[in-house]
A and B are shown apart, each in its own frame.
Chain A
């Protein structure tokens, strides 16, 4: 391992401030691959303070490429923060709902950062290294989480460095991903187990490769220095990976029923409601939000999956009605899903309406569509 994840110096306030100011000014941040996206006719949209590609050739084709072969995503907008020092473990245990102490070296773990009420501030990944930790945070939550960490590190001997600005992150996703990474890195990353990572070298420069993703497919996510981002991206394209934008990333994660912050997750829902109780370890010791989550109100709305009759999409915010015409909840994400060829949605409904098979009506701009609660995830890859 080179120097990528070794924390250096104190936490860099400047990076968080710059990200925040960029959001305020509407002058968006650009990844090292920005020019490539523009040159290759990507449609660029603002997302979480960044200018990101939403699609190249088309969302449906990109979605299908990931399910059937391999797609390539620029996810450099995700915030990458390294955390080290003698108190790093106890700090992370205090701000993360999942267990950190039980992680093995090179393991990656999903969990939530909650406030005292148990409301979700973000969903993040924690990487455990022999010498410290890294966390990957949603782009839109970068200023908030950095400020939250800064507030809760008081009295702890840790070092925290925001690495986002000097690194890129590239995801290659799909059944052909293993073929596409062959020989690219010093380590044989095809041997990585799911949700494990390894520090390795790309072109003799340090990088991190993890077997993780946000599409429901096998795949890898690579954190590499800005200088090598274009080279790695182009190599994947040459090897046949199809460039994919945030549009297909969204439909892929919806089919895989992965929650998205700002849609299924926000500060007014807790992980139990969101169906993420598996990522909350109440017995691991004290952490922020633990008391509230231990006493979570079982009558609060819960996240469910819905299949909508026909091909119309039920969009976020569409109200749901039960069989008696009473308010049942509302849609948080919904789209026509290209691979399953169905209109699918995620929603929060009253717990008594959450059983599989429950019929509901969705009010889509005045027309009523019939929906049925179906099991999550909608899509599960065959291993």
Chain B
């Protein structure tokens, strides 16, 4: 699998894409391959403050439950509503977006960077590739 070069990565398999001062966050294709198809997702509410490296959500598959860690410090400004249940419209969450397009339509949250926060601590695509290789994948 190829990890896009324009993204930054956490060791726990989240990706981050900086546009202005807003970071879009999702999980990597490798994470999905390991987890197998997601069956449940819990994301932080809009307005919630998140800390780099700290859990902000949960993703589950038939095989396992994993924490989602925020790659950066900041405040959640948007969630991918398609991944969440809309009780008013009786729309079920569409987790196939995460499964089929983890780097694109399967994005999870947008986080406005906290003052002074950066993505510098995150891995580059090459470093993340190297991590996967060193873990034997």
A48 at the interface (CB under 8 A from B): no
B33: chain A residues within 8 A (beta carbon): 43
- Docked-complex contact A336 and B39, CB < 8 angstroms: yes
B40/A313 in contact, CB under 8 A:
yes
Tell me whether A55 and B36 are in contact in the complex, defined as CB-CB below 8 angstroms, given that A312-B60, A336-B60 are known contacts. Answer: yes
Contacts of B30-78 to chain A: CB distance below 8 A: 33, 36-37, 39-40, 42, 58, 60-65
Complex Cα–Cα for A251 and B64 (A): 12
Contact of A59 among B36, B60, B65 (CB under 8 A): B36
Say whether A215 faces chain B, with CB atoms less than 8 Å apart. no
A327 at the interface (CB under 8 A from B): no
A365 to B59, CA, bound (A): 13
Minimum distance in angstroms from B4 CB to a CB of chain A: 22
Sample 21 A-B pairs with CB under 8 A, ordered by A number: A54-B36, A54-B63, A58-B37, A58-B99, A59-B37, A59-B63, A60-B62, A63-B62, A250-B63, A311-B39, A311-B40, A311-B60, A312-B40, A312-B42, A313-B40, A313-B62, A315-B64, A315-B65, A335-B62, A336-B61, A365-B65
Interface size on B, residues (CB 8 A): 14
Bound-state CA distance A335–B36 (Å) is 13
A336 to B65, CA, bound (A): 11
Contacts of A60 on B, CB cut-off 8 Å? 37, 39, 62
Once the chains are docked, how many angstroms separate the CA of A247 from the CA of B62?
Answer: 8
Number of interface residues of A (CB under 8 A): 21
User: What is the minimal beta-carbon distance from A243 to any residue of chain B, in angstroms?
Assistant: 15
Interface residue? A240 (CB, 8 A): no
Q: How far is the CA of A63 from the CA of B65 in the complex (A)?
A: 19
Residues of B within 8 A of A (CB): 33, 36-37, 39-40, 42, 58, 60-65, 99
5 tightest CB-CB pairs across the interface, nearest first?
A336-B39, A311-B40, A335-B62, A59-B62, A59-B36
Tell yes or no: A338 within 8 A of B by CB. Answer: yes
Interface centre among B40, B62, B64, B65 (most CB of A within 10 A): B62
A271 to B65, CA, bound (A): 30
Q: How far is the CB of A39 from chain B (nearest CB, A)?
A: 17
Told that A312-B65, A335-B63 touch, could you supply 20 new A-B pairs with CB distance under 8 A?
A: A54-B63, A55-B36, A59-B36, A59-B37, A59-B61, A60-B37, A310-B40, A311-B40, A311-B60, A312-B42, A312-B60, A313-B39, A313-B65, A315-B65, A335-B62, A336-B39, A336-B60, A337-B62, A338-B62, A364-B65
Within 8 Å CB of B62, what residues of A? Answer: 59-60, 63, 247, 251, 313, 335-338
* Residues in chain A near residue B42, CB distance under 8 A: 312
Chain B residues within 8 Å of A364, by CB: 65
Chain A residues near B39: list those with CB within 8 A: 60, 311, 313, 336
A315 to B64, CA, bound (A): 8
* Residues of A contacting B65 in the complex (Cβ-Cβ under 8 angstroms): 312-313, 315, 364-365
List residues of A (32-70) whose CB comes within 8 Å of B's CBs.
43, 54-55, 58-60, 63
- Binary interface profile of A, 226-252, with partner B (CB < 8 Å = 1, else 0)? 000000000000000000000100110
Q: For A335, what are the chain B residues with a Cβ–Cβ distance below 8 Å?
A: 62-63
Q: In this complex, what residue of B is CB-closest to A312?
A: B40
Residue of B nearest to A337 (CB): B62
Q: Which residues of chain A are within 8 angstroms of B63 by Cβ–Cβ distance?
A: 54, 59, 247, 250, 335
Give residues of chain A (298-329) contacting chain B, Cβ–Cβ below 8 Å: 310-313, 315
Q: Which of B39, B58, B99 has the most chain A CB atoms inside 10 A of its CB? A: B39
